[in-house]
Amino acid sequence: MTNNNVIFWNLNLNYCHHLRVFYYFAAVVSCYNKPPIPGIVARSPAEQEVENLSGLSTNPDKDIFVVRENGTTCLMAEFAVKFVVPYDVLALNGIDLITEQAPIALPRGAEIEGKCGSNEAELRISWINNAYTFRIFFLKEVQDPSKGKAIWKMNKMQFVYDTSETAHFINAYNPGKHTANSHRLSALVTPAGRSYECAAVQTVTLISSDHQKGVTVSMSDIQIQPFDIQGDFIFSEAYKCLSDQREQLEETLPLILGVILGLIIVITLSVYHVHLKMTANQPQLPRDRSMYKNM
C-alpha cells in the first residue's frame, strides 16, 4: 500500500469516528429537546421527613409516628404494641430444646421510615441497631365500583428480630435473624377518608422463618390514617372498631333502658291520675240494696 493510500485510509477512519460522535451527541440533544408527552407530568422526588413524637404521649406505652411529604402529613399512627416471640434454648441435659417466650416492647427512641402513596403506604420502625424491625403495610382499594365506595386496610405485617440480642433472648439456641410475616392479612378495614380508632387489643399472629413459630403482635389504643389526611398533624373523622362500638353500646344501654323505664312509670302514673279524676266526677251508686226501694 502506498503512502497516499495510507493517508487516505486514516482520513476516512477519522472522518467516520467524528461522524459517529456527532450523531451520538445529536441523538442525545434531540432526546432532551423532545416536547413532553401529553398526559405525563414530570415530578421531582418527594421531600420526605419522619417524626417520632412518642414523647408527647401521656401513655408511656403508646407511640406516635408521623410521615410527611412536601411539608404535608401523609401518614399518622398512634398505638401501643407488644411482641411475644418464641425461641429455643438448650435444656439442662444438653440434648433437648425448650421453647421460651420473649416479651418485647417498642422503645421510645425507635427510628422510623415511611412511604406514602395514593393506594399503598408503609410504616417501618426499627430499634437497637436494626436488631428489630416492625413494618406495617396499608392498601387502599375500591370496594364497590358501582358506587365508587373505597376503603383502606392493613394488608401486611412483618417483624424482623435477632435472637442474638441478649437483652430479650437469653441463652438462645442457634441465634440469628429471623423474619415473621402475616398471611393474607385484612385488618383495620376503614372507609376511605377516615382514620381508624380502637382502644381494644387487636392481636395478629405472624409466622416466623424460625421453624414456623408463631409470633404474637398485640396492638391497642390505636388511631391510624395512612391516606387522605386533610389537616397537618390532624386525624380525619374516626371510624371506631366493632369492639369499641360494642363497649360504647354496653355503656349507654343501661342509660337508655333507665330513660325508657322512667317514661313508662310517668305515663302509667299519668293515666292512673286521669282515671281517678274521671271516676271521681261520676255519681256514686248505693251499695246497700235496701236503698234501691226508696229510689
**pLDDT(29) > 70:** no
* Residue extents of the structural domains in the chain: 48-241
Burial of 249 (0-12, 13-18, 19+ CB in 10 A): exposed
Between vectors from CA 262 to CA 261 and to CA 265, what angle results, nearest 5°? 90
pLDDT at position 289: 57
pLDDT tens by residue, 215-228: 999 999 999 999 99
Q: By C-alpha distance, which of 74, 95, 97 is closest to 86?
A: 97
| Least confidently predicted of 66-75, 83-92, 133-142, 145-154 | 145-154
DSSP conformation class of 138? E
Is residue 96 scored above 80 in pLDDT?
Answer: yes
Which segment of 108-117, 126-135, 237-246 scores lowest on mean pLDDT? 237-246
Task: Look up residue 192 and give its DSSP letter.
Answer: T
The three three-digit cell numbers of residue 259, written as one number: 330513660
> Each residue of 120-134: pLDDT tens digit?
999 999 999 999 999
pLDDT band at 292 (very low <50, low <70, confident <90, very high): low
pLDDT in the model for residue 194: 97
Percent of the chain with pLDDT over 90: 58
Cell numbers 432526546 label which residue? Answer: 31
Residue 203, phi-psi category: left (phi > 0), alpha (psi -120 to 50), beta (remainder): beta
pLDDT number for residue 283:
61
CATH number of 48-241: 2.40.160.110
Query: Each residue of 247-261: pLDDT tens digit?
Result: 555 556 566 667 777
Flag the least confident range among 12-26, 85-99, 147-161: 12-26
Q: Pick the residue with more confidence: 148 or 122?
A: 122
List, for residues 176-203, the tens digit of each pLDDT value.
999 999 999 999 999 999 999 999 999 9
Of 46-55, 130-139, 196-205, which gets the smallest average pLDDT?
46-55
Contact 190, 160 (CB under 8 A): no
Between residues 36 and 238, which one has the greater pLDDT?
Answer: 238
Distance CA 143, CA 229 (A): 20
Which pLDDT tens digit goes with each residue over 267-291? 887 777 776 777 766 665 555 556 5
Is the per-residue pLDDT at 159 higher than 80? yes
Residue labelled with grid coordinates 442457634: 174
